[in-house]
Amino acid sequence: MASVELRNVTKRFGAFTAVEGVDLSIRDRELVVFVGPSGCGKSTLLRMIAGLESITSGELLISGRPANQVAAADRGIAMVFQSYALYPHMTVRENMGFALRMLGTDRAEIERRVRAAAATLQLEGLLDRRPKELSGGQRQRVAIGRAITREPDVFLFDEPLSNLDAGLRAQMRVEIARLHRQLDTTMIYVTHDQVEAMTLAERIVVLNGGRIEQQGAPLELYERPANRFVAGFLGQPRMNFVPLDGTGGQVASWLELLAPPKRSATLGVRPDGFEIYAAPVAGTVPAEVVLVEQLGNVSLVHLRIDGLPDLLTVELRDKSDLRPGDSVQLRPQPRRSHVFDSSGARIDWS
C-alpha cells in the first residue's frame, strides 16, 4: 500500500520538454487515470514513476520516501505494458512467476501466488501455454497477472487496452475496475481514451503539452472543465465551441440569453446541451441541418449556422425526423453552457 507524490517534476529529452513542473499527489489505494492526447507526456510521467525514465528535476516520493534514485525493481511497483511485453519463450506460469524467481522466492510460494493470480483472472487452464498460443485478451490478462503475483504497492498501467478490439476493451475495463476493488491497491492508469478515463478513474488527471490541465473526479471535470482544452477533450461527441462575437452577430441572441461577463468569449456547449425548435422562440438562432446520424438510441444532428467556422453537433434522444436541408431554430440551455475567455480559461458567473 503506497502513496505517490510528484513535486515539480520535469523531464527533458535534449531541448524537448516532455513533462514540465508537475505537482501531483496520489493517495494510498486511489485509482488515478492520466489522460491526454498523444505526446502530452502522460506515458513519460508514468515511466518516471516506474523508474524506466530518469527525472530531470523535481522529486518523486513513494510512500513518503524519496524515490528518484531508487532502482526501478526496488520501487515496489508493477507495470502492465501496452504491448503486454510477455516473454515469448516462457509459459504463462513462468511469465507470471518470473519476478519472484529472480528474487529467489521459494518454489511453493511462487506456485501459490501464480495460482491465486490465475484464479483471479480466469487463467487456470492456460498456465502451460506460451504467449503466442493466447488471444489478445488472454495475453492482456497474463500481463496483469504477472503484475499481481508480485504483490506490488503500486500498479502502473500504460495504455493496457489499446491493442484490444472495442468489445474486449469494454470487458477488460470492467475487469480492471473490479480488480482495483478486489486488490485495494494504488493504481495509476494511462490512456488516451477519455471513455476509459471517465469509467475507471476515481480521479482523472488531464495532461496537455507536459502540464496538468486539470485534475479531479470524472464528473467534476465533465461538468466544470477548468479550460477549453479539458472541455474539448472529455466527452463524446466533443463539446461545440462558438465564438460569441466577431462572427457578424449571428449568435447575438445567445449572448443576450446567457449574458456572460465578457463579450469576447467562447461558448462551449456539449451536444446534449442544446434545444431544437421548429419556429423561432426567445434566444434561438436559425440553423440548417447538414447531416443526421441515426445511432438507434440517439441521433446526432450536424447543423450549420451561417458565418460560423465549424458545424455544431447536437445530440437528440431517440430517432430524429430531421433531414439534411431542413431549417431549425437552435438554443443552448443556459445551465449547460460553459464560457471560456480568450486564453481558454473558464469564466464562472451566475
Partner 1 sequence: MAGRANPWTTGLFAALILLFTGGPVLLSLLGSLIPDRVLLDQGSSLFAEGLNFDGYRYVFTGELPRAYQAENANRAMISDAARQVPASLVNSGIIALSAMVLNILLGAPAAFLFARYLFPGKKLSFLFLILSPLVPAVALVTPIYIMLQSMGLLGTRTGIILVHTARALPFTVLILSVFFRKMPAELFEAATLDHCSRFQVFWRIALPLALPSIGATGLFAFMLSYSEYMFAMVLSGDAGARPVSVVMAALARNTDVSWSLLNTAIFIAIVPTLVLVVLVWRFVVEGLLSGSVKG
**Contacting residues toward partner 1, per CB under 8 A:** 50-52, 72-73, 77-79, 81-83, 85, 87-89, 98-99, 102-103, 132, 146, 150
- For residue 123, count other CB atoms closer than 10 A to its CB: 22
Nearer to partner 1, 158 or 213 (CB): 158
Closest contact distance (angstroms) between CB of 247 and partner 1 is 48
At closest approach, how far in Å is the CB of 242 from partner 1?
43
DSSP state for residue 238 in the 8-state scheme: P
Between 132 and 181, whose beta carbon lies closer to partner 1?
A: 132
Q: How far is the CB of 176 from partner 1 (least distance, A)?
A: 18
What dihedral do alpha carbons 230, 224, 342, 337 form, nearest 10°?
Answer: 120
Nearer to partner 1, 110 or 301 (CB): 110
Give the amino acid at 163.
Answer: N
What does the alpha-carbon distance between residue 36 and residue 301 come to, in Å, rounded to a whole number? Answer: 27
- DSSP at 36: -
Kindly tell me which of 49 and 251 has the beta carbon lying closer to partner 1: 49
Pick between residue 26 and residue 134 the one whose CB is nearest to partner 1.
Answer: 134
**Cα 230 to chain center, whole Å?**
11
Q: Minimum CB separation from partner 1 for residue 73, in Å? A: 4
Strand bridging mode 327-332 / 274-277: antiparallel
Let me know: does 228 contact 266? Beta carbons within 8 Å.
yes
To partner 1, the closest distance from the beta carbon of 58 in angstroms equals 22
- Per DSSP, the residues of 73-142 read GGSSEEEE-TT----TTS-HHHHHHHHHHHTT--HHHHHHHHHHHHHHTT-GGGTTS-GGGS-HHHHHHH
Kindly tell me which of 52 and 298 has the beta carbon lying closer to partner 1: 52
- Kindly state the smallest distance separating residue 158's Cβ from partner 1, in Å: 9
